[in-house]
Structure 1
Amino acid sequence: MEDIIFGIYPVINLLKNNPSLFKKIYILNNKKITNKIKEIFIYINKYNIPYYMVKKQWLNKKTNNHVHQGILGIIFLKKSKYHKNDILKIIKKFKKPFILMLDRITDPQNFGACIRTAVAAKINIIILSKHHSSKLNSTVRKISCGTSEMLPIIFVNSLIQIINLLKNNNITIIGTDNKSKNIIYDKKIYLPICLIMGSENKGIRPIIKNNCDILLSIPLFNNINSLNVSVSTGIFLFEIIRQNLFLK
């Protein structure tokens, strides 16, 4: 199977981290060649990736008029080598696993932003439900800046089943809930951890909340009731990192 990836930074990041995924690259036929396009040509030549110079109208059509910045890649979609049964194998590779679980994240832009944040925070694995979740599509890859290929992302039938699996392996389950009186900055949060994030409007489902070891919130002011899920994810992940950096 094939898919597309477009935008300067998503293409460059994927070229740096997984160039073998590229089947071909299309570049806007423009007299002005920017430094970033020159950088892309370095990778094209290094890995012998076929490329074609095309008109802006062609790129507009292929990306459904999204912001492509004059660059589009056709990539091979490898069938995911990870499945539900691999979760335990993956987490056992790490002394203190750091896991992100996403519940009801249906917007691909939010999903892509969460992936990018997770990679920056050195999350070991992302777990989502097969139902009521965004697919891993070209929009997700663009927003994630190509980082979606840098860690295992596993879709499962039952998040509750996976939560129980993680609990049985001594992993603390932390749910996020803006109504919780437990402020993240007031709690000691030590790895190994599975952090569960829900959608901005609905949060995580009640059945998920009931299976968490603790629910935490971010203090908000000026009558703001919630944050974008990718922003909240960043706050939670990097506060957890901050606390664990000082552990011996």
Structure 2
Amino acid sequence: MKEIIYGIHSIENLLLTSPKRFIKVFISKNRKDYKIKKIINNFKKKNILIKFCDINYLNKIVNGVHQGIIAEIYKLKKFKEINIYNIIKDVKKPFLLILDGITDPRNLGACIRNAYATGVNLIIIPKNRSARINSLVKKTSCGASENIPIINVVNLSKTLIFLKKINIIIIGTTHKTNNLLFKTNLNIPIALIFGSENNGLRKLTIKHCDKLINIPMKGNITSLNVSVATGIVLYEVIRQRYFI
């Protein structure tokens, strides 16, 4: 099966990691800057078909947010719930990210980008009440969504129960707790859960958490944008695991 991706960074990153997935690339005739010339040369080196076309043709495909470049690629094989154990079974200290109810594609893409940058082994997303992994998510993630296992699950509660059975510690993030992020041991097998942009973690999800943590903040605000919060917590995991 095929799909469309677009944007300089998304396409460039995929070209670096998985050049064989490209079928052909559409590039605006009007783009003649250094960035596009560089990526054109890289495509030619890989013998990937390039088609130069009018900007209006590209706009019809992805509504004008493509940065003058669109690629047709082969779809990755999708991971399923039954694959969760096999993905993490050989990892000494599994590092999972669970995004429960992120409905904004840009937020979802940014969270995925954070996860890839910090070495998350697996992302889990409920099938309901969540944004789909579409072209906008992929563009926002700058190609990260093509390089990290992402699994949609039907019943998040059952998945959390399963993770606990294989000794993964479930840690939820919320401002409704006094447990501070920077005083929490994250150098263990963990699954970090972030809730929706507006309502945070669901009550049922909280019931399955082994621990709840918050990000200390000054001022009169009680929460951060979910992608910002994700980045802070994920990098605290990296700090604890590799720098102390």
Q: TM-score range by the shorter chain?
A: over 0.9
1:209 Cα offset (Å): 0.5
Query: Which position in structure 2 is the counterpart of 1:10?
Result: 10
1:171 Cα offset (Å): 1.2
Deviation per residue, 1:15-65 (Å, 9 max, x gap)? 1111122111111112x6222112211221122111111112222222112
Letter in 1 for 2:58: L
Distance 2:84 2:56 in 1: 44
Letter in 2 for 1:233: T
Aligned ranges for residues 111-122 of structure 1 at < 5 Å?
111-122=108-119
Query: Which position in structure 2 is the counterpart of 1:124?
Result: 121
Q: Is the 8 A contact 1:11 1:146 kept in 2?
A: yes
1:222 Cα offset (Å): 2.0
Any idea what SS the aligned residue of 1:26 has?
strand
Q: Is the 8 A contact 1:200 1:226 kept in 2?
A: no
Query: Which position in structure 2 is the counterpart of 1:38?
Result: 37
Using structure 2 for the length normalisation, give the TM-score: 0.95
Query: Which position in structure 2 is the counterpart of 1:64?
Result: 63
Q: Is the 8 A contact 2:103 2:197 kept in 1?
A: no
Letter in 2 for 1:78: L
Any idea what SS the aligned residue of 1:232 has?
helix
Query: Which position in structure 1 is the counterpart of 2:47?
Result: 48
Query: Which position in structure 2 is the counterpart of 1:232?
Result: 229
Distance 1:51 1:244 in 2: 43
1:246 Cα offset (Å): 4.2
Q: Is the 8 A contact 1:100 1:126 kept in 2?
A: yes
Deviation per residue, 1:67-113 (Å, 9 max, x gap)? x2211111222341x21111011111211100001100121111111
Query: Which position in structure 2 is the counterpart of 1:23?
Result: 23
Runs (5+) with no aligned partner, structure 2? none
Query: Which position in structure 1 is the counterpart of 2:74?
Result: 76
Of stretches 195-204 and 42-51 in structure 1, the one that deviates more from structure 2 is: 42-51
Query: Which position in structure 2 is the counterpart of 1:173?
Result: 170
Query: Which position in structure 1 is the counterpart of 2:149?
Result: 152
Query: Which position in structure 1 is the counterpart of 2:193?
Result: 196
Runs of 4 or more off by more than 3 Å in structure 1?
A: none
Any idea what SS the aligned residue of 2:162 has?
helix
Q: Is the 8 A contact 1:99 1:194 kept in 2?
A: yes
Query: Which position in structure 2 is the counterpart of 1:100?
Result: 97
Of stretches 110-119 and 41-50 in structure 1, the one that deviates more from structure 2 is: 41-50
Q: Is the 8 A contact 2:197 2:225 kept in 1?
A: yes
Any idea what SS the aligned residue of 1:173 has?
strand
Letter in 1 for 2:154: N
Distance 2:175 2:19 in 1: 41
1:221 Cα offset (Å): 2.3
Q: Is the 8 A contact 2:95 2:122 kept in 1?
A: yes
Distance 1:109 1:56 in 2: 24
Deviation per residue, 1:166-219 (Å, 9 max, x gap)? 111111110011121111012222221100011121111111111101100111
Distance 1:119 1:79 in 2: 18
Query: Which position in structure 1 is the counterpart of 2:205?
Result: 208
Distance 1:118 1:152 in 2: 11
1:123 Cα offset (Å): 0.2
Of stretches 136-145 and 160-169 in structure 1, the one that deviates more from structure 2 is: 160-169
